[in-house]
Amino acid sequence: MDKEVKASWERFLNPVSLKNNIITASVHSMAFEMLKSSIEDKIREFFTNGFDENGPLVSDDYKLKVLKLNRSRTYASLLWLKQHDAIDDADIEVYERIKRHQ
């Protein structure tokens, strides 16, 4: 095995750095999922008209005005926010950059 390749694997598999890398990746992944969930949940809650024994009562407007914008609930929510001037294309691009690093 090439010395550089071996050294690279040894650095990668070093218990201290490996642990730190796994923790960092886990925190980043969790933060991204929280962002995604927040985007989806806040828009859905906006269209909630109360609760029953099964949970929130989401109006039909949510399907007609949000979910129809994209097959992805997240992107549909982002597009709905953009339609209402809450965010712009630059904000969606920031989301895309975060997603690529996830």
pLDDT computed for residue 33 by the predictor: 96
pLDDT at 56: 94
User: How confident is the prediction along the chain (102 residues), in pLDDT tens digits per residue?
Assistant: 788 888 888 888 888 888 998 999 999 999 999 999 999 999 999 999 999 999 999 999 999 999 999 999 999 999 999 999 999 999 999 999 999 987
Question: What pLDDT score does 10 carry?
Answer: 84
Question: Which three-class secondary structure string do you get for the chain?
Answer: CCHHHHHHHHHHCCHHHHHHHHHHHHHHHHHHHHHHHHHHHHHHHHCEEEEECCEEEECHHHHHHCHHHCCCHHHHHHHHHHHCCCCCHHHHHHHHHHHHCC
> Can you give the residue range of the structural domain that contains 50?
3-100
How many domains does one find in the chain? Answer: 1
